[in-house]
Structure 1
Amino acid sequence: MYIAAGFLLVLGLVPKIGALTTTIPTAVLGGAMVAMFGMVVAQGIKMLGKVDFASQENLLIIACSVGVGLGVTAVPNLFHVLPAFLQLFTSNGIVAGSITAILLNIIFNIRLAPKEKTKLQESSVEQ
């Protein structure tokens, strides 16, 4: 990991070495990009494997985050009525979905004390 970081640092700081990377054919870069994004997806699935899906809060967090992310991607003008500084965060599906996940995680898993969660679960069992 540190070797890759050092390599990228050298590429960024030494222009002659950085210019050498422009000679790489686009087909090779495309193949490397497919592998790289595949690894990102695999790591995301691995992380989701550790989530407790028995919790309704976690299901809601994932559903809303994916929905907002896909919604922004499918309908680019979804948040066009917001002020310009907020449109920076809502114009990209990944950013909008990530912010949604972070905020909902704070609301459901951090702000709600374990006692409140227990009360909510007990009341749902009684009904």
Structure 2
Amino acid sequence: MATTAPVHPVDEVPPVRQLAAFGLQHVLAMYAGAVAVPLIVGGAMKLSPADLAYLITADLLVCGIATLIQCVGFWRFGVRLPIMQGCTFAAVSPMVLIGTTGGGLPAIYGSVIVAGLAIVLLAPVFGRLLRFFPPLVTGTVILIIGVSLLPVAGNWAAGGVGAKDFGEPKNLALAAFVLAVVLGVQRFAPAFLSRIAVLIGIAVGLAVAVPFGFTDFGGVGDADWVGISTPFHFGAPSFHASA
């Protein structure tokens, strides 16, 4: 009698209920970070609410395309594993500098295109250099990224640059409460929830902010139900040597 070869855990396909739960977990864990990047970059560039919403829409569209390429695979591209492709905070500081020093979003787009092509060409070489990047190196880089974003976080916690109540205790208290929720969920909640600690912190913070009068939903009522991304909305990519 023929026996079925055991399936490696990496290749195992869980039941549909587990697939749905894990898929939702992936989406929620990715979503908060993916939306935060255009919020930070667009906020630093003082984009209008409409343009900021458009930037978020374009961001999510590209995340979806990249996710399909990673999961399904296309020629030599894609790891062909069930992962969500989100945004990296590693490029936030350079993008903010490029966007606020005269180049604007077109210069950011141009530099991203050049950087993407360079990474494609250097990927085989970089793969051989991974042994020179132990956890101590990568951890330090991630720490530096977080530290470099502290001024942005500080401005947000105080109420946003230009706000009439900038720096008032109520703003700092709300930010501290959200931070406490995120850290509490990350430390004490089950693994399924700890993966989306940031998103839970945002949701709980919003639930508290509404009754205390922190929120204004006027812009939400005027927004479109569906956002469509079109090419060159912010102009054609421009290429600057410094960027």
5+ residue gaps in structure 2?
A: 1-94, 96-107, 219-243
Which piece of structure 1 moves more, 19-28 or 30-39?
19-28
For residues 108-127 of structure 1, the aligned pairs below 5 Å read 108=213, 109-111=215-217
SS of equivalent residue, structure 2 residue 168: coil
User: In the alignment, what sits opposite 1:47?
Assistant: 156
- Equivalent of 2:127 in 14, 19, 22: 19
Q: Secondary structure at the match of 2:149?
A: helix
1:76, CA displacement in angstroms?
Answer: 1.9
Q: What TM-score, normalized to structure 1? A: 0.51
TM-score (norm 2): 0.31
| C-alpha contact (below 8 Å) 1:66/1:97 kept by paired residues | yes
Aligned 1:62-81 pairs, distance under 5 A: 62-77=175-190
CA RMSD of the aligned region, Å? 3.7
Identity, % of aligned pairs? 14
Whole-Å Cα distance in 1 between the matches of residues 133 and 126 of structure 2? Answer: 15
* Aligned pairs, number: 101
**8 Å Cα contact 1:76-1:91 kept in structure 2:** no
User: Aligned pair in 2 of structure 1 residues 16, 106: CA closer, same or farther (>3 Å)?
Assistant: farther
- The runs of 5 or more residues in structure 1 that have no matched partner are 81-86, 113-127
Q: Is the 8 A contact 1:68 1:97 kept in 2?
A: yes
Structure 1 counterpart of 2:228: none
3-state DSSP of counterpart to 1:110: coil
2:143 is the counterpart of 1:34 = yes
Aligned to 1:94: 198
The aligned amino acid for 2:124 is: K
Match of 2:99 in 1: none
